[in-house]
Structure 1
Amino acid sequence: MIQVRIAGTAGVVPGPLLSTAELARRALPNTPPADVEAKTGISTRAWAPKGALMSDVGAEALRGALDRAGLEPRDLRRILFVTSTGGDALIPTTSSAIIATLGLRGTCDGFDLSNSCMGFLSALDTGARAVATGLFPVGIVVVEMLSRHLVPEQHRPYMVLGDGAAAVVLTQGAAGEGIVGASFGTDRTLGNTVHLGHPCVTGEPEHLQFLASNRELTEIGVSTLVRAAKAAVEPSGARLEDIEWVVPHQPNGSMLDKMIAALGVDPSRAVPLVEELGSIGAASIPMSLDRLLRTRPVRPGDRVLMAGIGAGVSYGAMLYQVA
C-alpha cells in the first residue's frame, strides 16, 4: 500500500452547456438529433469560451479542492498539471502559470504531465509516490479544453467531446488508507486510435480525429480497461464485483455501459457524467470522483476503483481505500 489520502476534490464546468441537437444541426444536418443523442448517450456538454485560460480554470478547481481539504495554497509542496492538448502554451508550463495565479513564490514546484485520457491516473500515481517520500501536500489539476480542436467536418469527435476541469489534493494517509493496487500499460500495437497533430510539424491547422471505428474503439477500450482493473484489484484479494465504488473513464454513454457490464459491477456503484458533460478526456475520472465523494455515502473502509484508457494506447487502474 502507498499511504496517501485524497483530502479534497473539486470540479469545474468551464463554460455553458450546449445541446446535442444544436451541434447535430451543424455537423450532421441530415441526421435526426434524437438519433445522435441515442447513439452517443450524450445530451449536453460544456465548451469553454474562446480565450479562456486553462491556468485560470485550473486555479479555480484547485482552490476548491484545497478548501475542502482545509488547506491553503501556501501549504502545497507540488502541483501537477494534466491536459491532453498541451496547456495554454508550450513554454512555459501551465503549472507555473497556476502557481503564479495562486500567488505562490518558491514554496512549491510544478510540472505538466500528458498521457491522453490516462493523464489523471498517471498523475495520481506520481503524486502518491511523492507523498510516500515525504513531499506533500500535492495538488493535481486536470483541465481539458478539447473544444479548441474540433470542427464540424470531423463529426465524430465534434459530437462527443466536451470541456471540464477537476482538482485533487493529496496528503499523508492514515493506517489502512491509500493505494492498495495499481496497474499501468501502454501498447501502441493496438493502433493509433485518436490523433491530434502538431501544426509545427504538419505546417497546417490540426483538428482532433478518431482514426479507429466506433466498434474498434469500444473493443479496445473495454478489453484494456477490464484487464487493468483486474490487475489492480488482484493484489488485495478482492473480486471486482465486491468493490464498493467504480470510477471508470467515460468516452461515451454506450461505452460506459459496456465497461460497467464487463467489470461485472452494479451500475449504482458508478457515477455517470457523460450524458451531461460529454467525453472530457483526462478530466473524466477526477470529475466523477469529486461527484462520488460529494454525493454518495462513501464510508471508511470502502474501496474506489479508478480505471481508464487513452490514445497511445495507454491504460491503467488504481484501487484506493478510504479510511
Structure 2
Amino acid sequence: MGSVILGSGSALPKRCVTNEELAQSVDTTNEWIIERTGIRQRYLADDSETTSSLATEAAKKALEAAGIDAADIDLIVLATATPDQTFPATATTVQANLGIKDCIAFDVAAVCTGFLYALTVSDSMLRGGNARRALVIGAETFSRILDWEDRTTCVLFGDGAGALVLESREGEDGILATRLHAAGHHNELLYVDGGPSTTQTVGHLRMRGREVFRHAVVNLAEVLNEVMEAAGMTAADIDWVVPHQANARILDATAKKLSLPADKVIVTVDQHANTSAASVPLAFDVAVRDGRIQRGDMVVMEAMGGGLTWGAAALRY
C-alpha cells in the first residue's frame, strides 16, 4: 500500500498587515524587515478566528479539491504549536466542525516541522491499514504567543492553515520518502517561555535568530539529501522544492547549498511570513492553485523549527 495526495487547501485570516502598518506600533521599518527576512506582509487572526477555524476552512477546501465528503475521512492529524485548548486536541474540534461522527483524530507538536511529522505519521498509518483516507493539517495562530515589544521576533510570524487529503492505494505511491530529526539539547535557541506544567501561562516566543539560521542552513541541506537518496532521486529530478517559509535568506542559502535553481523553489514568505506548521502546506496549496505544481511533478518539502526539529519529504503529486 502507498498513499497519494487527492487534494489540498489553505486558509488565511481576514486581516492582512503590511510592514508599514506594523511599523506604526513596533519599532521597525519596512526596509529593515524586507532586507533581513524578505517579508512584506502577514495575516493576523482576530478574536473570532482560531487555529481550529482556520484548520477547518483549509480542510473544507482540501476536501472539495479532492472531490470527497468529510464523512469519507477516517483519520485527522493536525500539526500545531498553538492549539485552541490545552486539551482536547484541536483535531477533534475540526472533526466536529466537519460533522464527522467518528474517526481517529489527534494533534502533533513539532512547531515549524509539525506538518512533516504529521504527514509522516499519516502516511505510516495509511500504509499500515489503520485508515484509508486522512486529513493532514498544519494550522497556527502564532500571533497569540508573540511578544509585540520584541521587534526581532514579532515581525517574522503570521497566522494561517494548510491541509492535504491523503488516500491509501495499492500499487501507487505518492509519498515516496520522509526523514525526521530532533535535537532537544538546542531547546534554548527557539522556544516559548511558558506552559501549563511550568509557569501555568501561555508564554511568549523567544529565539536566538543567528544561531537558528546557522543550524537551519546545515540541517535542511542534509535532510534534503537524505530524503532524496531514500527516494532514489537526485536534484535534477526535482520539479519543485516547497520549503518552510521562515526567512528568504534561509531559502536562498539552502537552494545554493544543493545547487538548485531559485525558480524551482516555492516562495510565499513575502506574502504570509512564517506561519510555523501551516507554512509548508500553505505554500504547497498556493503553488497548486496557481498552476505551478502539476500532477506528476516531483516535489520535496523541508522544514526546521523549535526543538530543534527538522525533516523533509519527497513525493510525486
Question: Which of these residues, 32, 37, 59, is aligned with residue 35 of structure 1?
Answer: 32
Matched-pair contact (CA < 8 Å) for 2:160–2:278:
yes
Contact 1:24–1:36 (8 Å) recurs in 2:
no
**Given the alignment, which residue of 118, 132, 143 partners 1:123?**
118
Supply the RMSD in Å over aligned alpha carbons: 1.8
SS in 2 for 1:118: helix
Give the Cα separation in 1 of the matches to 2:88 and 2:202.
Answer: 22
Per the TM alignment, residue 91 of structure 1 is displaced from its structure 2 partner at its CA by 1.9
Equivalent in the alignment of 2:176: 180
CA distance in structure 2 between the aligned counterparts of 1:271 and 1:230, rounded to whole angstroms: 18
Q: Which amino acid aligns with 1:280?
A: T
Contact 2:110–2:117 (CA under 8 A) maintained in structure 1: yes
- CA deviations on 1:234-276 (whole Å, 9 max, x unpaired) are 1333222431111111111222222222222111112111001
Moved over 3 A (4+): 173-176, 296-301
Is 2:176 the counterpart of 1:198? no
Match of 2:23 in 1: 24
- In structure 2, C-alpha distance between the alignment counterparts of 1:299 and 1:64, rounded to whole Å: 18
Q: Relative to structure 2, which stretch is displaced further, 255-264 or 154-163?
A: 255-264
Letter aligned with residue 21 of structure 2: E
Q: Secondary structure of the equivalent of 1:25? A: coil
Deviations 1:297-316 (A, max 9, x none): 54554311111111111111
> Is 1:72 aligned to residue 69 of structure 2?
yes
Question: Pairwise mapping of residues 64-143 of structure 1 onto structure 2 (< 5 A)?
Answer: 64-85=61-82, 87-106=83-102, 108-134=103-129, 135-143=131-139
- Amino acid of the structure 2 residue aligned with 1:303: M
Q: How does 1:195-274 map to 2 (within 5 A)?
A: 195-200=191-196, 201-203=198-200, 206-210=203-207, 212=208, 214-274=209-269
* Distance in 2 (alpha carbons) for counterparts of 1:175 and 1:302: 18
Q: Is the 8 A contact 1:79 1:109 kept in 2?
A: yes
Aligned residue type for 2:143? S
TM-score if structure 2 supplies the norm length?
0.93
| Post-superposition offset of 1:57 | 1.9
In the alignment, which residue of structure 1 is the partner of 2:143? 147
Structure 1 stretch displaced more, 287-296 or 74-83: 287-296
**Structure 2 counterpart of 1:287, one-letter code:** L
- Correspondence for 2:54: 57
- 1:227–1:190: structure 2 CA closer, same or farther, 3 Å change rule? farther
Distance 1:32 1:65 in 2: 36
How far did 1:37 drift? 2.3
Q: Deviations over 1:3-60 (max 9, x none)?
A: 21111100111231101122123221xx543223222211100000024222222111
Q: Would the aligned equivalents of 2:237 and 2:298 in 1 still touch at CA under 8 Å?
A: no
Gaps of 5+ in 2: none
Q: Matches of 2:296 and 2:30 in 1, distance apart?
A: 44
- Judging changes above 3 Å, is the alpha-carbon distance between structure 1 residues 199 and 320 closer, same or farther for their aligned structure 2 residues? closer
2-structure distance, mates of 1:88, 1:70 = 28
Letter of the 1:66 partner, please give it. Answer: L
TM-score with structure 1 setting the length: 0.91
Residues of 2 paired with 1:236 and 1:209: CA distance? 36
Give the Cα separation in 2 of the matches to 1:223 and 1:70: 40
Deviation at 1:80, TM superposition (A): 1.1
Partner SS, residue 26 of structure 1:
coil
Aligned residues: 315
Compared CA separation, residues 205 and 307, structure 1 to 2 (3 A): closer
Report the equivalent of 1:162.
158
SS of residue paired to 1:160: coil
Residue 290 of structure 2 is matched in structure 1 by 295
Unaligned 5+ segments in structure 1 are none
- For the residue of structure 1 that corresponds to 2:311, the secondary structure is strand
Amino-acid identity (%): 28
Distance 1:146 1:298, change over 3 A: closer
1:122 is paired with a residue of what secondary structure?
helix
